[in-house]
Structure 1
């Protein structure tokens, strides 16, 4: 076995911290070699922006309450693909009472999305449309691209359903 003497050049910890062993390390140390150098400023300045804010969108769906309480006012343009209504709308209004850095904000929004799915299913049934849940939830794509995962999900769902049936029957005795 040979005795290895570590010097500053061969010490792995020094090499890891230094970075000179990496090909191309330090290529942008010279400001002239940086792609954005002539216009690069720290922090970037926004004093030369010549942009006019668009006219505010007309509010038809009560979206005013559904904006971050960390920003003054509503953005001029916003989406209204799913206006707040029903129980999911109430949950969304509740979520926007909390700051965006509060976990309750995001958890209530997730719950509102799930409730909105249920409301959509009930709305479909009320209008006489029987939803094809397998197709609408991506079943054919799952079968095509992730058969093993789909089989595992089906097996787990079958086991959960079996246990539920067993417990309900046992409870009825």
Structure 2
């Protein structure tokens, strides 16, 4: 059981594991472990006085992995899920195991959606995002842009950088221009 003071029972005994997996338990002998001189078992007790730590109250529903039956005793509440990105994250946790690629791809997609909505929200403020200064394009002009790329391993991927950094801004500009053109025609 997770989050308890007891060590969970092994599903198989060490002898069963050694018979089934070649080389299992090779580091059980302290003489074979490189960290043995640093390992200490004479430390004083930790003073933990609990079997299961006191649980933090869950005031709003939290995302949790399908592998776990309960949340850890203490968890963060600083950034609650919100908006479309929160819905994507909730779906990833409710539907897919952490061992599935779909779980992690959905979480990455939620991060992209969150970044995009933050960029869009910035246009409603007095100081919207500036893609030229915030992406480092202006620094490229002064920091030897061609010489700094020579000899790098990712040379084939460099054209994608332009697409990934400037692409969303160009698409956003095209969309705004299309909306303005349509509004002016009316």
Whether contact under 8 Å (2:56, 2:75) holds in the other structure is no
TM-score, normalisation: structure 2? 0.48
Give runs of aligned pairs for residues 1-173 of structure 1, distance below 5 A. Answer: 29=31, 34-36=36-38, 39=41, 50-51=47-48, 52=50, 53-60=53-60, 62=61, 64=62, 66-97=63-94, 98-137=96-135, 147=145, 148-149=148-149, 152-153=158-159, 156-157=162-163
Unpaired runs of 5+ in structure 1?
Answer: 1-27, 41-47, 166-173
Aligned length: 122
* Greater C-alpha radius of gyration: 1
Aligned equivalents of 1:37, 1:77: Cα separation in 2: 29
Q: For structure 2, which runs of at least 5 residues remain unmatched after alignment?
A: 1-29, 150-154, 175-186
RMSD between aligned residues:
4.2
TM-score by length of 1: 0.51
Q: Does the C-alpha gap of structure 1 residues 55 and 154 become closer, same or farther in structure 2, counting only changes over 3 Å?
A: closer
Offset of residue 85 of structure 1 = 1.2
Flag the 1:76–1:134 CA change in 2: closer, same or farther, 3 A.
Answer: farther
Contact residue 66 and residue 93 of structure 2 kept, 8 A:
yes
